Structure formats: structure tokens, C-alpha cells
Amino acid sequence: MAKKPLLEFTDRGIYCAQGKFYIDPWKPVDDAVITHAHADHAYWGHKYYLAHHLSREVLLYRLGEINLQTVEYGETVLKNGVTVSLFPAGHVIGSAQIRVEYKGEVWVVSGDYKVENDGISTPFEPVKCHHFISECTFGMPVYQWKPQVQTFNEINSWWRNNLEHGLATVIVGYSLGKAQRILQNLDLFNGKVYTHGVIENTNEALRRNGVLLNPTERITSESSKDDVRKGIIIAPPSSVGTPWMRKFQPYSFGYCSGWMAIRGAKRRRAADRGFVLSDHADWDGLISAIDATGCECVYLTHGYTATFSRYLNEIGFNAREVHTLYGGEEDPSNLPEGEASNTGEPEKKVLPLGEDLGGVL
């Protein structure tokens, strides 16, 4: 009988039977190793959590009181004889790839990742392994990112232009990751940065974790509309089209996403400007990351798994699709229906009560 693989794909998530733990499980389990705090990877209801220490405060904020152990990158934890360690995934602050080793066999679960250094997340580090479980959110050749500095130059000059034309500036990005990346790259010479409550709650959690972020001001019912209109507003996707956003009219609304690389995405998001900015690897990034692992087998969890696994097999990798429940934030497979109503955001699925209150402030 063939040996049982070290990691297997179950209806609860990626499971290590030898170590008796799961990685990013979507149903309640006893022992969960978490790659990062996005809602499609960090679910509520597990007995025990292990994650990187920079994910700590965001996890506690999003999931409430959980039994959480945190580690540094490279630190090892032994689970029933299986060695578990975390390596930087470069996706968002605190995101990790999970390395699992038993009797010389090494598996790596990428979680979500990007290879470009965004200046705020610990940069992605390739990890040698026999089996690599990878995302491929943007696994189509059309997705090619330009260096982020170019995108931020566009964003800053768009902001200046809005100020000159008496328009407020609203920039939309996910509350964990994109929002902080935008914040750290805005030209503060233009003005102040104002935040939607959902974004500010995440910023505060990260600051509690010791992350230094540029100054921001939470928009509340007391905020002066005139002042806010002279700055820039960072808002989450869930605020698009809401009365909260409309009260800043007239404004120009910019959307930051990897989807903006394809024609029509801006129109579907009803945005005035679309900025190509993603916290996931682009086509070349995925291939270089997979190649750098030196792995024998690649398993593709979410994104354009069919197209991408076909391509990888063509160029000589042993790749296959696996079924998981990941995908949400920026997952193009959500495009056709999800796009229209902006329901593609994972934050909506598992947010603790109170999170959406940011929307009415």
C-alpha cells in the first residue's frame, strides 16, 4: 500500500495526520496553523491557533478571544514529531508560508503570497521543499504587475489633481494589506489621511502589535466634511456605493486591485480610476516562486487553478488542482457574479459583530 502523504486535502482543510494539525482549516478543528489573518484563511472556532506574532492583534480583533500561540519566522514548533515552521509570504503583514517536515520529507503551504517587496510585509522567501501547495489567484498571463512605485506615483498625482479640481479623493483597498500599503506610500505633502472605521480598526490592531504606520484620522460623525475633503480617504470595498461614501461628494473614487489589469474591471467596480495593485503574485511571480522551491509536485488551491496547472504541466512541473475554500479577497474566480454586488470581499463572511459598524460612521 502506498505511503500516506504528509499533508492531505480534507473537507475541513489541509491536514497533517502524523502531526494531528490542520493548516488554514475552514471548519472547526482542535489544532490550526494559520498562514495569515484574512478571513478565508483564519476561521473562528478552532481550539488552538498557531500563527506569526505580527498576525496576533489582527487575529484577536477579528476572531475575539482565541487560544493563540505566536512564533517568529524560522522558529520551529514540534507537533507529534512533525516539525512546523513559518517563513515570510510577503502577502500582508504577518503572513507566512508553513513548512512541515517529517523524516526528511518537506511540504510547504504558501497561503497567499507575493514576490514583490511591498516595504511593509516581511519579503517573500522561497523555501525548498518536495511538495508545494500554492495559491494561483492571478495565474493567467494577462496579470503582470508593474513595480509598485509606478502605481503609487499615479495615485499621488491623481490625488493632487483632485485637490486642484476641488474633488475629494476616495481610495479603496482591503482593510488588511492594501490599506496599509497605500497609507505608507501616500505623499503626505498633499494632505492628511482619513480612514473608514473598518480600516482604522485594522490599523489600530497592527499598531498594538508594534507596527509603525503613518498617521491617520478615523472618520466619525464629528469629522469636518471640509477637512476630510482636503485630504485622502482610505475606504474598504464594502463602503463602495454606500451613503457613507456619497456624503463626500463630489469625489473621485479610485480602486486598487490586481483585477484592474484587465479591461472592464474599473467599469464593473464603478470606479473613476483603477490602480493595478495586488498583494498576490502575478503570473511571472507565481512561476518564479514555484520554480525556486525545487519541488517535485505542486498543488494549486485557489485562483485560475485549471489554466495554471495545465500550463505548469506543459513546462514540466507535476501540478494538479485541489479543492479548497480559499479565495475571496481579490480572487478573480469571483469576478462574474460577485463583482456586480461587491460581495467578493471575505471580510463580510466572517467578521465579528461590530466590524461593519465602521460603515455607518
Residues at the interface with Zn ion (CB under 5 A): 38, 40, 112, 326
Q: Where are the beta strands (DSSP E) in the chain?
A: 8-9, 14-16, 21-23, 31-33, 48-52, 68-71, 76-79, 82-88, 96-102, 105-109, 131-136, 168-172, 193-195, 217-218, 232-235, 251-257, 273-276, 297-303, 318-321
Report the alpha-carbon distance of residue 359 to residue 170 in Å, rounded: 14
Q: Tell me how far, at minimum, the Cβ of 182 lies from Zn ion, in Å.
A: 16
Nearer Cβ to Zn ion (211/361): 211
Count CA atoms within 13 Å of residue 291 on its CB side.
Answer: 10
Q: Tell me how far, at minimum, the Cβ of 223 lies from Zn ion, in Å.
A: 30
Q: Tell me how far, at minimum, the Cβ of 304 lies from Zn ion, in Å.
A: 14
**In the chain, which ranges are continuous DSSP H helix?**
56-63, 148-164, 178-185, 197-208, 225-230, 243-246, 265-268, 283-293, 305-314, 335-341, 347-350
Distance of CA 278 to the CA centre of its chain: 9
Identify whether the C-beta of residue 290 lies closer than 8 Å to the C-beta of residue 312: yes
Nearer Cβ to Zn ion (18/342): 342
Nearer Cβ to Zn ion (101/118): 118
Nearer Cβ to Zn ion (177/197): 177
Identify whether the C-beta of residue 297 lies closer than 8 Å to the C-beta of residue 326: no
Q: Tell me how far, at minimum, the Cβ of 174 lies from Zn ion, in Å.
A: 8
Nearer Cβ to Zn ion (38/181): 38
Q: Tell me how far, at minimum, the Cβ of 222 lies from Zn ion, in Å.
A: 33
Nearer Cβ to Zn ion (40/200): 40
Report the alpha-carbon distance of residue 245 to residue 291 in Å, rounded: 44
Q: Tell me how far, at minimum, the Cβ of 55 lies from Zn ion, in Å.
A: 11
Question: What Å distances lie between residue 303 and 71, 153, 276, 327, 331, CA to CA?
Answer: 29, 29, 17, 7, 6
Q: Tell me how far, at minimum, the Cβ of 132 lies from Zn ion, in Å.
A: 16
Nearer Cβ to Zn ion (24/200): 24
